[in-house]
């Protein structure tokens, strides 16, 4: 059954209800601009939202509970209960039940994405530790969604107005990074980044900087050979094909001199190399976008923040930006299909 849509329908998976995800979601959706632009569907449980509405004195946050996406109301904030009974809300406390509900929210949203009844998914932060198990391996949203949509390659892409940083390797131990930095992996991520910058961000001829793996980008082999043997040949091959790809650059000097402002995208070799400067510069407005998927998925660039959960201190800026970005990507996709 299809839904007649007058606004984009954006799903929001609630994440860990004992973190700040529910709070930033509610605060973001109180933005009148968003309510006019999208139809939000929160995957979680009405009792958790009611708890935070009372605890945070957000009496102007109103929602309706629906049994399934087919019942969506385009002038309301919709909530789908993904479990029969909501776990007890315990701000700042890690519980297995909260993890189970966070996973159930993602799984139901995936079903509705695959049926074509959601236009995009925004994922509130969760705690990998209370989800991951031998029965359900879970190292992150990016990997879980990549598997769910049978995608060979995806890329964690951190984006803000002035900065876009993609990663060659994601959620893997530091000791395994060098083995993950290969010509094949760099080429795959560069191709994803170029396609995403063109299709998702509307940049016809993207200019991309590639970072080195070692300190000082290897110092001509003195501090490592990956730049000479792996990264430089890949950069050269893309240049020969007419792509505006440059590097490898030493990451400390590159970000220290704010060179990211000269490029449409920056490809980092590993998680902290890209995310530390990104979060230092864009923490309240940055968005985590999964490039390379057949669906649109965005997320705030922060975690559960148990230390401030339930205290009304959480800044909704990143969640708001994640929803706005999802909306903009839906509209760009619609325009591309219309041309």
Reading the chain (339 residues) residue by residue, the pLDDT tens digits are: 344 456 999 999 999 999 999 999 999 999 989 989 999 999 999 999 999 999 999 999 999 999 999 999 999 999 999 999 999 999 999 999 999 999 999 999 999 999 999 999 999 999 999 998 878 889 889 999 999 999 988 999 999 988 999 999 998 999 999 999 999 999 999 999 999 999 999 999 999 999 999 999 989 989 999 999 999 999 999 999 999 999 999 999 999 999 999 999 999 999 999 999 999 999 888 999 999 999 999 999 999 999 999 999 999 999 999 999 999 999 998 887 776
Neighbours of 98 (CB within 10 A): 27
Query: Bridge-partner residues for 121, per DSSP?
Result: 11, 297
pLDDT at 4: 44
Query: Bridge-partner residues for 187, per DSSP?
Result: none
pLDDT at 5: 52
pLDDT at 326: 97
SS3 per-residue string spanning the chain:
CCCCCCCCEEEEECCCCCCCHHHHHHHHHCCHHHHHHCEEEEEECHHHHHHHHHHCCCCCCCCEEECCHHHCCCCCCEEEECCCCCCCCCCCCCCHHHHHHHHHHHHHHHHHHHCCCCCEEEECCCCHHHCCCCCCCCCCHHHHHHHHCCCCCCEEEEECCCCEEEECCCCCCHHHHHHHCCHHHHHHHHHHHHHHHHHCCCCCCCEEEEECCCHHHHCCCCCCCHHHHHHHHHHHHHHHCCCEEEEEECHHHHHHCCHHHHCCEEEECCHHHHHHHHHHHHCCCCEEEEECCCCCEEEECCCCCHHHCCCCCCCCHHHHHHHHHHHHHHHHHHHHHHC
Pairing state of beta strands 64-66 and 39-44?
A: unpaired
Q: pTM of the predicted model, to two decimals?
A: 0.92
Rounded to whole angstroms, how far apart are CA atoms 175 and 164? 26
Rounded to whole angstroms, how far apart are CA atoms 13 and 239? 40
Residues 258, 163 contacting (CB under 8 angstroms): no
């Amino acid at each position: 059954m299809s839904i007649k849509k007058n606004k984009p329908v954006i799903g929001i998976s609630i994440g860990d209800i004992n973190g700040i995800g529910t709070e930033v979601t509610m605060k973001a959706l109180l933005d009148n601009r968003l309510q006019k632009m999208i139809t939000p569907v929160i995957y979680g449980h009405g009792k958790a939202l009611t708890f935070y509405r009372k605890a945070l004195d957000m009496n102007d946050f109103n929602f309706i509970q629906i049994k399934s996406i087919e019942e969506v109301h385009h002038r309301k904030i919709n909530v789908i209960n993904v479990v029969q009974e909501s776990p007890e809300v315990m701000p700042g406390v890690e519980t297995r039940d909260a993890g189970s509900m966070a996973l159930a929210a993602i799984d139901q949203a995936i079903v509705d994405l695959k049926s074509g009844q959601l236009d995009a998914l925004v994922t509130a932060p969760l705690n990998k530790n209370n989800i991951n198990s031998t029965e359900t391996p879970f190292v992150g949203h990016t990997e879980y969604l990549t598997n769910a949509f049978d995608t060979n390659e995806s890329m964690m892409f951190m984006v803000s107005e002035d900065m876009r940083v993609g990663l060659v390797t994601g959620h893997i131990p530091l000791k395994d990074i060098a083995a993950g930095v290969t010509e094949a992996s760099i080429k795959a991520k560069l191709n994803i980044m170029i396609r995403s910058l063109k299709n998702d961000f509307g940049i016809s001829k993207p200019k991309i900087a590639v970072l080195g793996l070692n300190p000082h980008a290897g110092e001509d082999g003195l501090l490592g050979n990956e730049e000479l043997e792996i990264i430089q040949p890949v950069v050269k091959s893309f240049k020969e094909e007419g792509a505006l790809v440059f590097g490898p650059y030493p990451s400390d000097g590159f970000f220290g001199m704010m060179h990211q402002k000269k490029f449409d995208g920056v490809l980092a070799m590993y998680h902290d190399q890209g995310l530390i400067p990104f979060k230092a510069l864009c923490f309240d407005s940055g968005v985590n976008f999964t490039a390379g998927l057949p669906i649109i998925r965005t997320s705030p660039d922060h975690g559960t923040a148990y230390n401030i959960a339930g205290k009304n201190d959480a800044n909704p800026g990143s969640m708001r930006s994640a929803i706005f970005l999802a909306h903009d990507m839906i509209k760009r996709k619609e325009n591309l299909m219309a041309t």
